[in-house]
Structure 1
Amino acid sequence: MKQMKILAISHACVVDEYRSKFEMMTNDQNIDLKLMVPERSIEGFPVINPVPVISKSYSIVKEQTFFSKKIYMHFYPFLPFSFFRDNFDLIYIEEEPWSLAATEIIFLNQLNKNKVPVVFFTWQNLINPWKSSSLKKIFYRHIEQITLSKFNAAIAGSVEAAHVLRKKRFKGLIRVIPQFGIDPNRFQRLPVQNMADKLILKKPVIGFIGRLIPEKGIFILLEAFRKIKQECSLLVIGNGASAVDFKRYISKHGLGNKIHWIPSV
């Protein structure tokens, strides 16, 4: 039986835990999978260094990206060489449909004589995730309308995300399969007695884990935390493109003795 050649593209899969699903897929001898990830960091995501050697049927490729400071604006300038050379049977991209990376895939597939099915993954559960008066909204919405008309299928991270796709008139197949979880056998809760004391945190402790970007609500949290009158602490774990603004906010409002920041764990 001929192997199915799959190209998967994902900026998030620079994190090894997120790649486990692809490793499981390639246990099937009938699948030949190439995973493409950014060569440079995308909005706080790390880079793979060195690239692990998996097997003949599963390879990870680091590709150069342009506009790598923004998740939705980055794309792969040298992707066309691999796209037209390797004759893939299926393309799977873990980028939102309004991203330039998704647009690039759709554009290349339209140029391809033998068009292949293209599947994308989305978490987006808002109809309008952009500011209503911004030019960015017009740009992203136009791109999204084009790509949604060309994608063959979608994997939604939640039922809400699937409903949003239908409201946006996506006519392809949709399956709800939450992604980017963790292996509970690998990540287990450990005893944390006296952790607040070790970090010199005043109880109660409010926690935030995630990338430091506006979309994750970190600055809304800071505004709310600043208004709390009672004694408490904020523990922030994460890094990202807004780390400088995050530190500037803490300094400006004199919150340094109430906020403990751990960039990564």
Structure 2
Amino acid sequence: MRALVVSRVYADPATRGKLKALAGLGVSLVAAVPDRWTPLGLGTEQPTVFGEDGGIRTVPIGVSGSTAPGADLKWNRGGLRRLLNDFKPELIQIEEELWSRAASGPAALARHLRVPYVVLTRESLPGAHGAFGRIRRSRVLKGARGAIAVNELAAKLVTRQHASLPSRVIPQLGVGLPLQGARPERPELSIGFFGRLIPEKGLDLLFRACVKLIGRWTLTVVGTGPAQEELEGLAERLGIAGRVTWLGALPRQR
């Protein structure tokens, strides 16, 4: 099978493990990535390298707008079309949020060229994306052959709008295996965060610190804010999403 994956995520070579595993199973795989990308936590963009990497071919495509995580970039339609005509994929997987231009552009091109596509969504809570965002989301889902959700909440959000669309929950970073051998029981460490979910609060730094903890721990996040979607995605990429509980906003008396 020839498959094309469209996503800004794989501009970072460290994130391509899943694609390399698919290539190892015999899938002929090309990753369309932005021609520049912004490493998480850094504000400086850097160019994306074209070439072969572990059995996959990465092809930088021109984009307009910011490539920072959560930003709504726009792919160059001509560049994507040339790649589709050259590679002739049997399937396209779009790994951008459904409401965004980053997803609607490739989806519209796939429909025009009559190439089947599936989508991947990380959005687990309804977002305020405006009228155009809702229209883009509806069109992307309407033309898709299937949806991959990173968790149960994201799957429910998809089926709420398009109940007939086949969907599956597939965690993108795998499932941690228990350590071998008996270990003495230790009390679980409970960590709490209370505050508005904005970059200035540094919750992303807390996530990275938690990754290095040894033993059992959980993190409860109380609060809402514009950075929640990006923070949920970061928790998934770091492999700690199962230990983080999002309670949203709570009354002051609680």
TM-score, normalised with respect to structure 1 = 0.61
Distance 1:21 1:63, change over 3 A: same
Q: How far apart are residue 137 of structure 1 and its match?
A: 1.2
Is the contact between residue 74 and residue 100 of structure 1 (CA under 8 Å) also seen in structure 2? yes
Is the contact between residue 37 and residue 47 of structure 2 (CA under 8 Å) also seen in structure 1? no
Corresponding position of 2:111: 110
- Over the aligned positions, Cα root-mean-square deviation in angstroms equals 3.7
Corresponding position of 2:122: 123
Q: Which residue type is aligned with residue 6 of structure 1? A: A
Distance 1:49 1:89, change over 3 A: closer
Aligned with 1:149: secondary structure?
Answer: helix
Corresponding position of 2:233: none
How do residues 77-92 of structure 1 correspond to structure 2 at under 5 angstroms?
Answer: 77=76, 78-92=79-93
Which of 2, 27, 32 is the equivalent residue of 2:28?
Answer: 32
- Gapped regions of structure 1 (runs ≥ 5): 131-135, 185-204, 209-215, 226-233, 243-265
TM-score, normalised with respect to structure 2 = 0.63
Aligned with 2:143: secondary structure?
Answer: coil
Is the contact between residue 92 and residue 120 of structure 1 (CA under 8 Å) also seen in structure 2? yes
Is the contact between residue 150 and residue 171 of structure 2 (CA under 8 Å) also seen in structure 1? yes
Corresponding position of 2:241: none
Corresponding position of 2:74: 75
Distance 1:23 1:41, change over 3 A: same
Q: Is it true that 1:149 corresponds to 2:158 in the alignment? A: no
Q: Deviations over 1:139-170 (max 9, x none)?
A: 10111111111111111000111111111125
Which of 3, 7, 10 is the equivalent residue of 2:7?
Answer: 10
**Alpha-carbon distance in 1 for matches of 2:52, 2:175:** 22
Is the contact between residue 10 and residue 95 of structure 1 (CA under 8 Å) also seen in structure 2? yes
Is the contact between residue 106 and residue 147 of structure 1 (CA under 8 Å) also seen in structure 2? yes
**Alpha-carbon distance in 2 for matches of 1:168, 1:72:** 24
How do residues 134-213 of structure 1 correspond to structure 2 at under 5 angstroms?
Answer: 136-180=129-173
| Bigger-Rg structure (1/2) | 1
Matched positions, count: 193
**Alpha-carbon distance in 2 for matches of 1:164, 1:87:** 32
**Alpha-carbon distance in 2 for matches of 1:40, 1:183:** 32
- Gapped regions of structure 2 (runs ≥ 5): 178-190, 210-226, 228-254
Aligned with 1:92: secondary structure?
Answer: strand
Aligned with 2:32: secondary structure?
Answer: strand
Give the share of equivalent positions with the same residue, in percent.
24
Aligned with 1:178: secondary structure?
Answer: coil
**Alpha-carbon distance in 2 for matches of 1:171, 1:42:** 36
